[in-house]
Structure 1
Amino acid sequence: MSERVDVTLPDGTMPAHRWLPESGTGPGVLLLQEIFGISPYIRRRAEDLAALGYVVLAPEVFWRLGVSDVPNGPSMLEEAMGLLGRLDWDAAVADSTQALRALRDDETVTGGAGVVGFCFGGGLGYAVVAGEPADALVSFYGSALPQLVDAVPSVSTPSLHVFGESDAYLPMDVVERITERVTGGDAPAEVVTYPGADHAFDNDDFVNHDADASAAAWARTEEFLARTLPTG
């Protein structure tokens, strides 16, 4: 079960959701949404992370647009893309950065703090740790990465980047360029790709879901977090 919490910002209050592990304390994970907001899928991934022993904080990044989540359905992609077109990217980065700071200050967080993001949240997470280093970053098919890897300073946070080899939004030549940049810095960076998987393949509520790639990528995520952000 999650609880509603607030992240205080200089110009307002961002709603967020917090999941606690069974122990009640643990390292923190900032969970950054897809373009569909704090969807049932994101909530399930939050529960998965809490089950691993993490305190999970998922901010409502679209709060300035008055939206918590986009309902599942045939128009979900069109509606979500419309929200993305209205989003203030710089404000989203600043808001998410403050959420990471709030997570670190949370009394239930013992140990370090990392970031896990999907699609929109995968690129957003990279932008956050570029300015506010964390202990770990897991980025699933970060849609903004092609614009970020050349523009942001070198990231010092250890990172894992996950892509599908049949991604219609991030084709393999783009993934190769991203790989060259993220692995070219001083921080450890791992890139893994999955044959036949399209964009958003981890989302089991979306048409592109690939069960085999999803299971393999999540197992890799668990292993990476166990190394970089151990719970015990």
Structure 2
Amino acid sequence: MTTADGPVEAYLAGEPGGPGVLFYVDAIGLRPRTQEMADRIASWGYVVLVPHVFHRWGSAADLAPTQDLREPGAREAFFAGGVMDRVRDLTPDLAENDAVAWLTALATHSGGGRVGVTGYCMGARLAVRTAGWHPDRLRAVGGWHGGGLATEAPDSPHHAIAASRAEFVFGHADHDRSMPPEAVSALGAALVAAGRPHRNEVYEGAAHGYTMADTSAFDEAATERHFAELRALLDRTLRQQD
């Protein structure tokens, strides 16, 4: 796969010709756990593309953790090592250019037409923005333990909802400092104002990063709930005709 900045690594799962799903990783990046998740989504009959969104900062292997993030303190140490610098440096302008490449590549393998997107942590922000950038194609958005989805910034991700044509399902982490109750409420208000079908729920007891089985934040019950919600969302939006 190629962007304006050169070749980019990506993981592709699923049989060619199925409906397409764009998978935005969390801040830890493209790795075996996100590939496993993509495989599961693909097993439902979808073609899933997981791009290495941090391609400007090194290969997926270069940026991958060197410790087991399930061990006490390892996840925190990894995030203290400059991870958030590249998250901040992946600006909306850069992400918008990349999204064109992701969707173009996905279209060469999927059946074309409407697409779904699922995003995790910072990937949830990318998912919401992509729905606003490409309303004619993006019809389903899943956002899971996302942070910073509704802020006071003029370019806050939730402002993209007004331009979208998607159905949205959010599963927020409980007591998440990056997505406090007032932000969840603001996100819900934006969904209502835009007239978009949605679910905007907090998963009680689930920590930020709850879907990531390779970290100490993993919550099996919340993860299975997310998979059930995501599958239902994709099935009702991507398998129906206008």
| TM-score (ref. length: structure 2) | 0.83
SS in 2 for 1:206: coil
> How has the CA–CA distance of structure 1 residues 112 and 65 changed in structure 2, closer, same or farther, with 3 Å as cutoff?
same
Q: Does 1:180 align with 2:189?
A: yes
> Identity rate of aligned residues, in percent?
26
For 1:162 and 1:176, locate their aligned partners in 2 and report how far apart those are by CA, in whole Å: 13
> How has the CA–CA distance of structure 1 residues 81 and 135 changed in structure 2, closer, same or farther, with 3 Å as cutoff?
same
Aligned residue in 2 for 1:3: none
8 A Cα contact 2:131 2:160, kept in partner: no
Higher-helix-fraction structure: 2
8 A Cα contact 2:122 2:146, kept in partner: yes
Aligned residue in 2 for 1:152: 160
Q: Does 1:36 align with 2:56?
A: no
8 A Cα contact 2:131 2:139, kept in partner: no
- Any gaps of 5 or more consecutive residues in structure 1? 1-5
| TM-score (ref. length: structure 1) | 0.86
State the Cα distance separating 1:187 from its structure 2 match: 2.4
State the Cα distance separating 1:175 from its structure 2 match: 1.0
SS in 2 for 1:114: strand
For 2:240 and 2:49, locate their aligned partners in 1 and report how far apart those are by CA, in whole Å: 16
> How has the CA–CA distance of structure 1 residues 178 and 46 changed in structure 2, closer, same or farther, with 3 Å as cutoff?
same
- Identify the range of structure 1 (173-182 vs 152-161) with the bigger mean alpha-carbon deviation: 152-161
- Any gaps of 5 or more consecutive residues in structure 2? none
State the Cα distance separating 1:110 from its structure 2 match: 5.0
State the Cα distance separating 1:96 from its structure 2 match: 2.3
State the Cα distance separating 1:153 from its structure 2 match: 5.9
SS in 1 for 2:195: coil
Higher-strand-fraction structure: 1
Look up the equivalent residue of 2:160 and give its one-letter code.
Answer: V
- Identify the range of structure 1 (67-76 vs 187-196) with the bigger mean alpha-carbon deviation: 67-76
State the Cα distance separating 1:222 from its structure 2 match: 1.1
For 2:79 and 2:58, locate their aligned partners in 1 and report how far apart those are by CA, in whole Å: 18
Output aligned runs, 1:12-23, within 5 Å.
12-21=6-15
